[in-house]
Structure formats: C-alpha cells, structure tokens
Amino acid sequence: MASVISDVTCPECGYEYCLSDYYYKSNERFISCGRCGYHRIDAKGINLKEPENEEEQEGKGIGAYTFYPKEGKVGQRGCFGKEKQREEFLNWFEEDKDELEEATITKKIDGGWYQIDLFTREKTKIEKDTPIRRSENK
C-alpha cells in the first residue's frame, strides 16, 4: 500500500468530511468533497518517465451526486464541476431511474447545502460536521 486516505476540511465549503487520498510513493494528492463537489488534483510528484511533469487541477464545487443500482450494491459518487454536468446527470437519471435503487444530489440553496433525494425530492440540510450517508431505509 502506498496511499493514505483521510478526512480533511473542504477549502471551498468547510465540510469536515472531505476525502483526501495521498499517494506518498509519487507525492500525488486527490481531494474530493461529497458535499459541494470541490475537487483538486496535485500531481507534482515523482514521475520517473517525465521528471518535469507537474499537474494541478482544481474545480470549485457546485454539487455532487451519489447513486446505487438495483442490481448489485456498489454505488458511485462524483462531483459536478459545471452546471452542464448536473443537467446531464439529471437527464440520465430521468432516463434510467427504473434501474436505480437510490439517487441523490447535493446543491447549495439559500446559502446552505442540501442533499436532495431524486425519487422523493426530499431535501435534507447537510451541516459541515455531518457525514453524507446512504439512506437508512436502504
């Protein structure tokens, strides 16, 4: 193993359970916030093939998504970097919702972050110290 995974505070929204994955053998770090969708990739590390290779990518978050298919229990999470990506996800959901058990997005509404169940349209406020979890009834 060469990876250290930990929770960090999101620099964008202050969420206390932002994922940080640090690959210490190559000095690369990936940060992703499941609340606001902020993401950052620092690949300034050791690259034996291209020692001068330095890559940084950062995206201000506008939200995130989570979904679980009916078949199999492995879900998927991701970030929206642009409004168009959220629109594409919502269009995909409408087309494929019969194959899903659960689907949620996060969105900033009136200054606060909410998790929205796409089936029921129920909104749950996400506090900065509350982990985003799968629905209890699933």
Q: Do residues 104 and 117 touch, judged by C-beta distance below 8 A?
A: yes
Structure confidence at residue 115 (pLDDT): 92
Quote the CA–CA distance of 62 and 106 in Å, as a whole number.
8
**pLDDT > 80? residue 8:** yes
Instruction: Average the pLDDT over 87-114 and give the result.
Output: 93
Nearest of 51, 1, 2, 10 to residue 31 by alpha carbon = 10
Residue ranges of the domains in the chain? Answer: 3-59, 64-125
Segment 30-45, tens digit of pLDDT: 899 988 889 888 876 5
Quote the CA–CA distance of 45 and 66 in Å, as a whole number.
30
Structure confidence at residue 77 (pLDDT): 85
**pLDDT > 80? residue 126:** yes
| pLDDT more than 90, % of the chain | 41
Q: 53 is written with which tokens?
A: 């290779």
Segment holding 78, helix H or strand E: strand 76-79
Neighbours of 66 (CB within 10 A): 20
Of 132 and 10, which is predicted with more confidence? Answer: 10
Structure confidence at residue 127 (pLDDT): 84
Instruction: Average the pLDDT over 131-138 and give the result.
Output: 60
Q: 129 is written with which tokens?
A: 């110290």
- The pairing of strands 55-59 and 39-43 is antiparallel
Structure confidence at residue 48 (pLDDT): 45
